[in-house]
């Protein structure tokens, strides 16, 4: 029996080591590499055969969602399984839009995670059931890509003028996008809108 070759990408060394130790106890799973960020994950997949890549979402440089998209577009025979602390409905939708084959949270029992890896490797999709329900209830991301860009910058405390310069937009266009985002998130200002969007995984 050929073991499933797994890559673990997480910016926390202890998490990577813990997952690797647990998964290496499985007779049909072999952790062949670890990565501290999305860039390392993509380069590893490019350099050596990986069957399933376990990717955290929030990593420096290149997020797990961005790494997933690059791996899928790269055409390698690697399936991506998101394993994250952040059980946000918007993240689930974005993960599958990026081409992920599965999405589970980090407190998933080791045996269930191993089974998720096997299912993803066999071509099936795996979704944390509680998160799937939350995602259905939350509905799709109401923000346009441009509204997301503007809110990300605004969440850093940037003025409308600064956001306009960064995104190469007019200040009036930025204000229009912010106003629309505030309305769609049912909030009263851009800070609240950014907080709601982040909490739902829309940014």
Name the range with the highest mean pLDDT among 13-17, 142-146, 186-190, 193-197.
13-17
Beta bridge partners of 83: 104
134 and 149 part of one domain: no
Confidence of residue 179 (pLDDT cuts 50, 70, 90): confident
At 153 the pLDDT is 87
CATH code of the domain covering residue 13: 3.40.50.2300
Average pLDDT, the chain: 88
Tokens for 55?
A: 């990717």
Q: Which of 96, 119, 138 is the last residue of a domain?
A: 138
Give the number of domains in the chain: 2
Q: Tens digit of pLDDT for each residue in 83-93?
A: 988 777 678 88
164 and 85 part of one domain: no
At 138 the pLDDT is 57
154 and 92 part of one domain: no
Predicted TM-score of the model (pTM): 0.68
At 191 the pLDDT is 85
108 and 47 part of one domain: yes
40 and 80 part of one domain: yes
119 and 21 part of one domain: yes
At 91 the pLDDT is 80
Q: Which of 119, 138, 157 is the last residue of a domain?
A: 138
31 and 128 part of one domain: yes
Q: Which of 122, 138, 154 is the last residue of a domain?
A: 138
CATH code of the domain covering residue 166: 1.10.10.10
At 136 the pLDDT is 55
**Containing structural domain, residue 165:** 145-199
Q: Are 93 and 141 in contact (CB under 8 A)?
A: yes
At 139 the pLDDT is 63
Q: Are 77 and 48 in contact (CB under 8 A)?
A: no
At 94 the pLDDT is 84
90 and 111 part of one domain: yes
Q: Tens digit of pLDDT for each residue in 120-150?
A: 999 999 987 776 666 555 567 788 888 888 9
H or E element that contains 34: strand 29-35
176 and 122 part of one domain: no
At 22 the pLDDT is 93
Mean pLDDT, range 155-181, rounded to an integer: 85
65 and 124 part of one domain: yes
Mean pLDDT, range 178-182, rounded to an integer: 86
Helix/strand/coil (H/E/C) assignment for every residue in 4-19: EEEEEECCCHHHHHHH
Interatomic CA distance for residues 146 and 33, integer angstroms:
36
21 and 99 part of one domain: yes
64 and 101 part of one domain: yes
Q: For 99-113, 121-135, 159-173, which range has the lowest pLDDT when averaged over its residues?
A: 121-135
């Amino acid at each position: 029996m050929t073991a499933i070759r797994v890559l673990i990408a997480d910016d926390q060394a202890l998490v990577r080591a813990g997952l690797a130790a647990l998964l290496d106890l499985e007779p049909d799973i072999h952790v062949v590499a670890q990565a501290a960020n999305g860039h390392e994950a993509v380069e590893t997949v490019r350099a050596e055969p990986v069957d399933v890549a376990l990717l955290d979402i929030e990593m420096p440089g290149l997020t797990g969602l961005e790494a997933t998209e690059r791996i899928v577009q790269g055409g390698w025979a690697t399936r991506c399984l998101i394993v994250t602390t952040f059980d946000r409905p918007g993240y689930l939708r974005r993960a599958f839009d990026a081409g992920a084959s599965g999405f589970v949270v980090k407190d998933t029992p080791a045996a269930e995670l191993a089974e998720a890896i096997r299912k993803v490797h066999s071509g099936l999709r795996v979704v944390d059931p509680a998160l799937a329900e939350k995602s259905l209830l939350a509905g799709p991301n109401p923000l346009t890509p441009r509204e997301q860009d503007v809110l990300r910058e605004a969440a850093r405390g940037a003025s409308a003028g600064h956001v306009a310069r960064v995104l190469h937009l007019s200040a009036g266009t930025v204000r229009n996008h912010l106003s629309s985002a505030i309305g769609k998130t049912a909030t009263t200002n851009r800070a609240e809108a950014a907080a709601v969007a982040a909490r739902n995984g829309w940014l």
